Amino acid sequence: MEPHLRGSSSSVIANIDRAKLLARAIKSQRSPSWPTPPTRDIPPKQVCEKLVSCYLRTIETVYRVLHVPSFQRDFEELWVAGHEPSMAFIVLLKLVLAIGATIHDENFSMRTEAIRWVYEAQTWLSSPTFKSRLGIQYLQMSILLLIARELVDVGSEMVWISVGSVYRAAVYIGLHKDPAHLPQMTVFEAEMRRRIWNTILEVSLQTSLESGGPTFISLEDFDTEPPGNFNDDQLTTGKPAAQSNSVHTQSSISIALRDTLPARLTVVKCLNDRSPNGTYEETLRIDTALRGAYKTLRRTLQTYTAIEGLPPPTFALQAIDFIMQRYISSLHVPFFGPSLYDPVYAFSRKAILDSSLKIWNATKSDFGIPDEGDFARLCRCGAGFFRAFAFHASTFLGVEIRTQIQDDGDLNSIHLYSNLFSILEDAASWYLQSMEAGETGVKGYILLKLIAAQVDATKQHVQQSELPRLLVKAAESAVEKCIPILETMASQGRANGSEGSSECFDLQVSSDFVEDWDMVMSDIFSFGDQGTYNTF
């Protein structure tokens, strides 16, 4: 394959290099200089209200960070003449705005502003005098910064490192100890401590799964109970009683997800611990426990939707299902390659296929971009956990399609895979739409088009000797499709006067979803052994 790629007649390598240069220029234009001291400049109230609403109806429903009534009270006071809010609240608000901006409109039009707000928060929290600020509000800002960095793509691949610092800060002020074992405090104080600790555990586990790093979490290291089943407004009324477990409140989703923590922690430890991977029988045992926890979770959520009162938000239900499917898929990924040619691992192959289909179906919109739901928009416009794993699901499905056709070899059976074929086309279109919303990486799109070309060549019974030429042509076409999008983004940045700074501390090092280009090419163009797939 190498002669075809690097031959004088192929434009792939040159265009990839051009795409990289354009991506660097775009990121430089978006990035403010470092450090970026926070200012009191914020958008007009109407815009802020929309961004806050975007945040509250999405991320806050799954990862509880704020006491919403207190936040809304401080937000309203912000607009009162003569009132000067603390810089801490301004920084916290800007992080909420940055997260909300990811789904505010169909093209993440406030990306540059969101990046600046993240830089400001990073600067403010990096102050060497942070010890005097250490408390619940500091941890709230730290968690929001982690989430914002991931979704806005400001050093998103390094968030796992930062989570460790936040975890230790929480331990330093005793959040790993349940309030019942501490000096007496109000219900509000106790519940906020439990809420923050619970979210730190969740973010720690999620970033470990995403990064491949150890969790450094043990169930024996803390005794903090899950949050109580309260609505936020209950916490400010004397000595409130928690709702029954069958009643849905603003805390119910995070409580239900917490119940699955032991099973999910076992998955991450199995995948990421330094010790060699266990046996396949051990993987199947972990799978059984994980599916049992997931089944209980689904029953709990169904109870919420069946009773009267406030139903769980659609976003939260989709996010929870996505998260659990991702853990199931991840558990079986080490056996995906062998499963393509060894029936011993057939269960893992089916597990990844089923989970990938469910993840992809939650990601795509059946109604087009203007009418897409919040979760689909977050996957398309945001970065990090949700978008990366949506992309991974589409590639797993592509490899499954390719393998099924190669194994079948019967053109009369191709109609059986028609639904899977459409996923490859939809995934490529989805990736382009992500680029139009500001994504600068092109390798993911090229990878999807290469898999599609390989599938198409297999369907057409193309001679093996012709396959490299067809795939190089597909790669050329794919990168040529991406270049104009990047050029448009770069020219818009110049028109807006965003030329970046030579002193810029670049926190935006995108992982482009996949590894080094040479490794991707060797995986996709490895024709002799179709039984391995080591891109991830």
Does 36 score more than 70 pLDDT? yes
More confident residue, 75 or 13: 75
DSSP category for residue 186: -
Average pLDDT over residues 72-76: 97
What's residue 497's pLDDT? Answer: 64
What's residue 367's pLDDT? Answer: 57
Q: Percent of the chain scored above 90 by pLDDT?
A: 72
- C-alpha to C-alpha distance for 309 and 391, rounded to whole angstroms: 36
Does 514 score more than 80 pLDDT? no
Least confident of 111-120, 236-245, 389-398: 236-245
More confident residue, 473 or 461: 473
Q: Which of 128, 102, 216, 531 is nearest to 344 (CA)?
A: 531
Q: Which of 92, 150, 101, 100 is nearest to 121 (CA)?
A: 92
Does 52 score more than 60 pLDDT? yes
Does 394 score more than 60 pLDDT? yes
- C-alpha to C-alpha distance for 349 and 141, rounded to whole angstroms: 41
Does 481 score more than 60 pLDDT? yes
What's residue 412's pLDDT? Answer: 53
* Length, in residues, of the chain: 536
Q: What is the pTM of this model?
A: 0.92
- C-alpha to C-alpha distance for 115 and 167, rounded to whole angstroms: 24
- pLDDT tens-digit series, residues 274-306: 776 678 999 999 999 999 999 999 999 998 876
List C-alpha distances in Å: 53 to 61, 253, 264, 422. 12, 18, 30, 34
Does 506 score more than 60 pLDDT? no
- pLDDT tens-digit series, residues 234-284: 998 888 999 988 899 999 999 999 999 999 999 999 999 877 667 899 999
What's residue 352's pLDDT? Answer: 97
- pLDDT tens-digit series, residues 140-180: 999 999 999 999 999 998 999 999 999 999 999 999 999 99
- Phi, psi angle pair for 362, to nearest 5°: -75, -25
List C-alpha distances in Å: 76 to 72, 89, 109, 138, 416. 6, 12, 25, 21, 57
Burial string for 284-293 (b: 16+ CB within 10 Å, else e) reads: eebbeebeeb
- C-alpha to C-alpha distance for 522 and 478, rounded to whole angstroms: 17
Q: Where are the domains of the chain?
A: 1-30+334-536
- C-alpha to C-alpha distance for 327 and 359, rounded to whole angstroms: 11
Does 505 score more than 80 pLDDT? no
Q: Which of 34, 35, 51 is nearest to 43 (CA)?
A: 51
- pLDDT tens-digit series, residues 177-203: 999 999 999 999 999 999 999 999 999
More confident residue, 304 or 520: 304
Average pLDDT over residues 490-497: 80
What's residue 129's pLDDT? Answer: 72
Average pLDDT over residues 409-432: 76
DSSP category for residue 335: G
> What confidence tier does 460 reach under pLDDT thresholds 50, 70, 90?
confident
> What confidence tier does 500 reach under pLDDT thresholds 50, 70, 90?
low
Average pLDDT over residues 62-87: 95
Angle among Cα 140, 141, 145 to the nearest 5 degrees reads 120
Q: At what angle do helices 136-152 and 111-125 cross, to 10 degrees?
A: 140
Average pLDDT, the chain: 88
Three-state DSSP at 279 gives: coil
Three-state DSSP at 54 gives: helix
> What confidence tier does 493 reach under pLDDT thresholds 50, 70, 90?
confident
Average pLDDT over residues 2-22: 81
The residue type found at 284 is L
Write the DSSP assignment of 352-373 as a string of letters: HHHHHHHHHHHHS-SS-GGG--
